[in-house]
A = this chain, B = another copy of it.
Amino acid sequence: MSLVEDLVISYRTLAEEGVIDAYGHVSVRSETNPNRYLMARQIAPELVTEDDILEFDLDSNPIDPKGRKFYNERYIHGEIFKARPEIVAVVHNHAPAVVPFSCTTRSPLKPIYHMSAFIGLGVPNWDIREAEKGSDMLVRNPHLGRSLAKKLAKHPAVLMRGHGFCAVGGSIPEAVFRAYYAQLNADLQQRAIALGGRVTYLEDEEARLYDETNRGVMGRPWSLWKAKFAPKE
């Protein structure tokens, strides 16, 4: 299965699993040229097909625009690919369970169970006002993309205040897995906080070790998602 096919499946999977609605996007670094990435044209994720995938340079200019419109926020992807050469895939979403953690002064996202251990590697919260006051909240230029990428730094994901989330990974399945399990972690953490009492989160060492283990088992949901959500011919 080609990278383009996997990319199409990632859009559909995140939509079917409720991580994204009509907004949100996934990108993957080109296999043949590390200074380019692939992403869909401006379209709702559930409708993406291979024909909608375009190639961009790391300044987020389309190599061949084919008369299409592009996501306003493609700079999220280009600037992260520039800043993090080892990263292969980026997911941007507005997952409902996650967004509230970007908007409170009191509850940072923390790893509450093993499947979401990567959160223990740190998930900073970016506020667009760090880069621009009085914006329309969108990462619509390289300057804003760079500010976000700087906040992400070496972490596996970053919250965006009043907006959403970005997860990165060494492969499409890893980035999609992280977006999916960030949402579940947020839901579990919300519930645990509501129960009252002190919440026990994963220890740093537990989080670090499971995140390694996970690379060996994250193929399981990916196989399921491919079986369920790959476009039927």
Contact = CB atoms under 8 A, between A and B. Distances in A.
Contacts of A220: 22-23, 42-44
Nearest to A196: B106
A227 interface: yes
A36 to B, nearest CB: 25
Given A113-B162, A198-B104, A206 B134 contact: yes
A37 interface: no
Contacts of A43: 220, 223
Given A163-B114, A220-B23, A221-B44, A197 B100 contact: no
A162 B184 CA distance: 13
A212 to B, nearest CB: 7
Interface string A60-103: 00000000000010000000000000000000001011011101
Given A161-B200, A162-B114, A212-B136, A44 B205 contact: no
A105 B72 contact: no
A1 interface: no
Contacts of A100: 112, 188, 191-192, 195
A143 B161 CA distance: 43
Contacts of A157: none
Interface in A142-165: 161-164
A223 B134 contact: no
